[in-house]
Structure 1
Amino acid sequence: MSDNRLLLIVEDDTAFARTLARSFERRSYTVIHAANLEDAADLLRKHSPRYAVVDLKLNGNASGLACVQMLNKHDPEMLIVVLTGFASIATAVEAVKLGACQYLAKPSNTDDIEAAFGHVAGVSEPELTNRSTSIKTLEWERIHEVLVETDFNISEAARRLGMHRRTLARKLNKQQVK
């Protein structure tokens, strides 16, 4: 399958991947999803996506950088955007060296990702936005980060966050974490 609007999403968080896929489908992209490196390799045998969105940190401590390298080897013209909740200069540089056209910190929306696909190498003045992150979003990101660090142990995450376990459980129920 060769489609100019074919997008591969490599993301282990199925809820986030589903949301992202729906958003891109509304923009007339055809979306395929892989939860890990092996699934992505299988999809590349059948499809030739023009675009890819890759999570930097996949389940089992797998690195999205290996996926970027594989995708770039498959098609050097593929536009690859790396998304991460754990941004660092070192991984950003490495992602670009391996073939990513852009590296974005979460939360990034569909507009940000689509703009990153249009990023032209050598442009030294990226567009700055005045969009600020809400306190609720920052709180949720911190909670999710600590949950990942504690392997989703609610009691330990609550202790590290300095809140009661029930309070954290209530917040998680509101967010519908799966």
Structure 2
Amino acid sequence: MTAPTERLPHLVIVEDDPAFGRTLRRSFERRDYEVLLCTSPGELAELLKTTQFQYAVVDLKLGTESGLTCVQMLHEADPDICIVVLTGFASIATAVEAIKLGAAHYLAKPANTDDIEEAFGKREGNAHVPVEGRKTSIKTVEWEYIHTTLAECNFNISEAARRLGMHRRTLARKLEKQQVK
């Protein structure tokens, strides 16, 4: 793997799904980004020793590891990097943690290159976004509570199930059912 050249915007994609990672990489390369792809926090740590990036796309769940670790590493390496977190398991708790750790945006999958590039361009918040009350269903409250617990357990499903007082398979089924598509 070669280091990015100086003339193109540098982007790192941290994604454990090989097909999605390759697709995203090719799409950004067609838009004149110099892209490096890695699949874990360990691989990212090695890349950061030799390469600086202007942009990063990080999957929230990297196998058994948390993408939040990557967000933290990227932000510590360069506080000006624009980080977009992608997830199929969107929750308020993980969105808040990602932003606190240095992410600029948090997008639910499936997100395409247009969505991600748009997020790169929005580094500041928007005070004019309408504040609307929404009715919260019991399912939404349960979903957010589950994800808060998951985040507290660093996405360890067994530990989260224990804390929630449910069987691991039951929790896994709930997560599969509610996955954002």
Q: TM tier, shorter chain? A: 0.5 to 0.7
Instruction: Give the equivalent residue in structure 2 for 1:100.
Output: 103
Q: Following the alignment from structure 1 to structure 2, what is the Cα–Cα distance between the partners of residues 71 and 22?
A: 22
Structure 2, gaps ≥5 residues long: 130-156, 158-168, 174-181
> 1:122 Cα shift?
2.6
The aligned residue for residue 172 of structure 1 is: none
* AA in 2 matched with 1:118: G
Q: Are residues 32 and 70 of structure 1, via their aligned partners in 2, closer, same or farther at CA, if it must alter by over 3 Å?
A: same
Matches within 5 A, 1:89-168: 89-125=92-128
Counterpart of 1:86 in structure 2 is: 89
**The one of 22, 25, 48 aligned to 2:26:** 22
Partner residue in 2 for 1:32: 36
Q: 1:85 to 1:77 in 2, by over 3 A?
A: same
Native 8 Å contact 1:2 1:48 kept in 2: no
The residue type paired with residue 20 of structure 2 is F
Q: Note the alpha carbon deviations across 1:115-140, whole angstroms, 9 max, x for none.
A: 000113232346xxxxxxxxxxxxxx
Q: CA RMSD for the aligned pairs?
A: 1.9
Q: Partner residue of 1:41?
A: 45
SS class of match (2:49): helix
Gaps of 5+ in 1: 127-148, 150-155, 161-178
Structure 2: distance between partners of 1:125 and 1:15:
38
**Could you tell me how far apart the structure 2 residues matched to 1:31 and 1:120 are?**
20
How far off its partner does 1:100 sit? Answer: 0.2
Q: Give the TM-score normalised by the residue count of structure 2.
A: 0.67
Q: Is the 8 Å Cα contact of residues 82 and 123 (structure 2) preserved in structure 1?
A: no
Higher relative contact order, chain-length normalized (CA < 8 Å, sep 6+):
2
1:68 aligned to 2:83? no
Q: Which residue of 1 aligns with 2:132?
A: none
Q: Separation in 2 of the partners of 1:72 and 1:84? A: 19
Does the C-alpha gap of structure 1 residues 102 and 26 become closer, same or farther in structure 2, counting only changes over 3 Å? Answer: same
The aligned length equals 129
1:77 paired with 2:80, answer: yes
**Cα shift at 1:75:** 0.3
State TM-score, norm by structure 1: 0.68
Runs of at least 4 residues of structure 1 off by over 4 A? none
Letter in 2 for 1:95: A
